[in-house]
Structure 1
Amino acid sequence: MPYEVRAVITMKKDAPAEVQTVLVPDPGPGDVLVAVQACGVCHTDLHYREGAVSDDFPFLLGHEAAGTVEAVGPGVTDPQPGDSVVLAWRAPCGRCRACRRGRPWYCFDSSNAGRPMTLLDSTPLTPALGIGAFAEKTLVAAGQAVRVDPAARPEAAGLIGCGIMAGYGAVVHTGGVAYGDTVAVIGCGGVGDAAIAAASLAGARRVIAVDLDDAKLDAAIQFGATHCVNSRGTDPVAAVRELTDGYGADLVVDAVGRADTFEQGFAMRDLAGTFVQAGVPGPQARLELPLLDVFARGGAVKPSWYGDCLPSRDFPVLIDLYLSGKLDLGAFVTETIALDDVESAFDRMLQGKVLRSVVTL
Structure 2
Amino acid sequence: MTAVRGVVATGRGKPVEVTTIHVPDPGPGEVVVRVQACGVCHTDLHYREGGINDEFPFLLGHEVAGVVDSVGDGVGNVAPGDFVVLNWRAVCGVCRACRRGRPQYCFDTHNAAQSMTLDDGTPLSPALGIGGFAERTLVHSGQCTKVDPAARPAVVGLLGCGVMAGIGAAVNTGGAGPGDSVAVIGCGGVGNGAIAGADMAGARRIIAVDKDPAKLEWAREFGATHTVNAAEADTVEAIRELTGGNGADLVVDAVGVPQTYTQAFYARDLAGTVVLVGVPSPDMRLELPLLDVFARGGSLKSSWYGDCLPERDFPMLAELYQQGRLPLEKFVTEEIALDDVEAAFEKMHRGEVLRSVVTF
TM over 0.5: yes
In structure 2, the partner of 1:74 is 73
- In 2, the alpha carbon distance for the partners of 1:6 and 1:280 equals 30
Deviation (angstroms), 1:283: 2.4
1:218 maps onto 2:217 in alignment? yes
Residue aligning to 1:59: 58
| C-alpha RMSD over aligned residues | 0.7
Q: Distance in 2 between matches of 1:215 and 1:51?
A: 29
Distance (whole Å) between structure 2 residues aligned to residue 343 and residue 259 of structure 1:
29
**SS at 2:319's partner residue?**
helix
State the alpha-carbon separation in 1 of the partners of residues 125 and 158 from structure 2: 21
Query: Could you state the TM-score of these two structures normalised by the residue count of structure 1?
Result: 0.99
One-letter identity of the residue aligned with 2:122: T
Structure-1 separation of matches of 2:151 and 2:282? 36
* Contact 1:8 1:339 survives alignment (8 Å): yes
Per-residue CA deviation, residues 46-92 of structure 1 (Å, 9 max, x unaligned), is 11111111111111100011000000100111111101000000010
1:1-12 to 2 correspondences below 5 Å = 2-12=1-11
What residue number does 1:333 align with? 332
- Name structure 2 gaps, 5 residues minimum: none
Amino acid at match of 1:18: E
Residue identity matched to 1:64: E
- State the alpha-carbon separation in 1 of the partners of residues 350 and 271 from structure 2: 36
* Deviation digits for residues 271-306 of structure 1 (CA, Å, limit 9, x no counterpart): 000000011112222211111111111101101000
> What is the DSSP-based 3-state SS (H/G/I as helix, E as strand, rest coil) of the residue aligned with 2:35?
strand
**Secondary structure, counterpart of 2:64 in structure 1:** strand
Hey, what does 2:180 align to over in structure 1?
A: 181
Q: Which residue pairs with 1:229 in the alignment?
A: 228
Task: Give the TM-score of the pair, scaled to structure 2.
Answer: 0.99
Segment of structure 1 superposing worse, 231-240 or 282-291? 282-291
Residue in structure 1 matched with residue 239 of structure 2 by the alignment: 240
Q: State percent identity of aligned pairs.
A: 67
Q: 2:356 maps to which residue? A: 357
- Residue 272 in structure 1 maps to residue 271 in structure 2: yes
Q: Do the aligned partners of 1:169 and 1:195 also contact (CA within 8 Å) in 2?
A: yes
What amino acid sits opposite 1:229 in the alignment? Answer: V
Residues 250-276 of structure 1 deviation map (CA, whole Å, 9 limit, x = unaligned): 000011111111111111000000000
Q: 2:189 corresponds to which residue?
A: 190
Q: Distance in 1 between matches of 2:65 and 2:228?
A: 34
Which residue in the other structure is 2:347 paired with?
348
The count of residues paired between Structure 1 and Structure 2 equals: 360
Aligned to 1:281: 280
Match for 1:249: what amino acid? A
Report what 1:257 is aligned to.
256
Deviation at 1:134, TM superposition (A): 0.4
CA contact 1:52–1:283 (8 Å) conserved in 2:
no
Residues 39 and 65 in structure 1, CA contact (< 8 A), matched pair in contact too: yes
Q: Please give the alpha-carbon distance, in whole angstroms, between the structure 1 residues aligned to 2:285 and 2:101.
A: 33
Code of the residue aligned with 2:4 in structure 1: it is V
Structure 1 residue runs without a partner (length 5+): none
CA distance in 2: counterparts of 1:194 and 1:318, whole angstroms? 12
SS in structure 2 at match of 1:52 = coil
Which residue in the other structure is 1:100 paired with?
A: 99
Instruction: Give the deviation of 1:340 after TM superposition.
Output: 1.0
Which aligned segments of 4 or more residues in structure 1 are displaced greater than 3 angstroms?
none
